[in-house]
Copies of this chain bind each other. A is one copy, B any other.
Amino acid sequence: MQKPVIAGVGFTKITAHWKYSLKDLAAEAALKALDDAGNSEIDAIVIGNMMSGIINGQENLGSLVAESIGLSGVPGVKVEAACASGAAAVMWAGLSVLSGVFDSVLAVGVEKMTDVTDNEDVSSALATAADYDYEVFFGATFPSLNALVMRSYAKTYKLSPEDFGYLPILMHKNAVDVAHAQLRFPIDMNGYLNSPIISDPLKLFDCAPIGDGAAALVITRRDVAKNSDHLVEIAGFGSATDILATYRRDDFTRLRAAELATKRALSMAELESKDFDIVQIHDAFSVIGYLNLEALGVVEKGKAHEFIASGDAERSGALPVNPEGGLKARGHPVGATGIYQIAELALQLSGRAASSQVEDAKVGVAMNVGGTGSNVIVHVLRRVE
């Protein structure tokens, strides 16, 4: 089967973009991706976004973004899968390209989180990824649900507070020289351990920041791509859901949907976990990053902290993880994150990742997680030689 390819990549810096609207951000990323792809004709636009209705008073992003880049008329739609909305947009764009109905589809992930200035409003909007009837109504927030997962994981594998620090420390280290990253400062173990408790045992430095950003990809097929110098193939993708309410799952220390999505993506790609040369994990919270690595089959259960501590996940390590700083330090504009992950991977595999470039990666994987693991989408990318 012919696979979709990524022909163009574009994104904005992640920060509090006070001067830009949702539309401005989406347009900047989209125009960069179109330019990078040699300005392919676009047959449809798929927007990955989670909270535009609640935070920005704006739905109908398909029409909004199409118009903003001069493509009004083209089919346009928004796809939402909580924090996995970005990868969902890429996956459905990929499916539509495989259908043969569309040749080239623009996937744009965008989130403008700072249009509300009260953190409680952002927390409420994020909480719509949880189960309203059984979690949110009773006051659960996303940090509190992830604290539950972290507590259970720490207890099961007898982890110390330090053990969770290795991942955020590496992410901040990686982001320092990345121009589009949000938090470009290093942290050390002391700083991590002394960062405020958000929801015990979750510390401030376990959490990705709030930020605005947009990322875009031109997804097409090799036979219709306008350029051929930096194509990256989407060798496989897989998606899975899990029970929405966290407390109703059998085991808090596994992300079942992540395991299933990985299996599906690898099956489509005809590859195995050992084939990964570079990994993008969804480290919205440190423990979720660890659970990603386990679900991807690259570390044993309960050993993710040892893998990070060993140096193997560094840019120069055996299996680089989030070399641009991940959600923790590169930033996490929710509905855009999945597209940032795939975009960064595409740059790495085509040797265009600038300061964060790792050496000679041929196969990479990106895991984008919605809810506390209730909706997970995995993409396996391969360099086109």
A interface list, Cβ under 8 A from B: 1, 21, 23, 44, 50-54, 56-64, 66-67, 72-82, 88, 91-92, 95-96, 98-102, 124-125, 127-133, 136, 238-244, 256-257, 260, 268, 370-371, 374-375, 377
Contact in complex: B51, A53 (CB < 8 Å): yes
Taking the full assembly, how many copies of this chain does it contain?
2
On chain B, the residues within 8 Å of A23 by CB distance are 133
Q: How far is the CA of A238 from the CA of B91 in the complex (A)?
A: 20
Chain B residue contacts of A62, Cβ below 8 A: 81, 241, 375
Beta-carbon contact of A125 and B374 below 8 Å: no
- How far is it, in angstroms, between the C-alpha of A377 and the C-alpha of B74 when the chains are bound? 11
Indicate if the CB atoms of A60 and B133 lie closer than 8 Å: no
Task: Considering the complex, give the chain B residue whose CB is closest to the CB of A23.
Answer: B133
Question: Which residue from B50, B257, B268 sits with its C-beta under 8 Å from A59?
Answer: B50
Q: Could you tell me the distance in whole angstroms from the C-beta of A18 to the nearest C-beta in chain B? A: 15
Distance between A260 CB and nearest chain B CB, rounded to angstroms: 6
Name the B residues within 8 Å of A130 (CB-CB): 60
Is the CB–CB distance between A374 and B244 below 8 Å?
no
Bound form: Cα–Cα A92–B46 in Å? 10
Partner of A371 from the list B51, B63, B80, B256 (CB cut-off 8 Å) is: B63
B128 adjacent to A260 (CB under 8 Å): no
Q: Does the CB pair B56–A54 fall under 8 Å?
A: no
Which of B58, B63, B99, B243 is in CB contact (< 8 Å) with A242?
A: B63
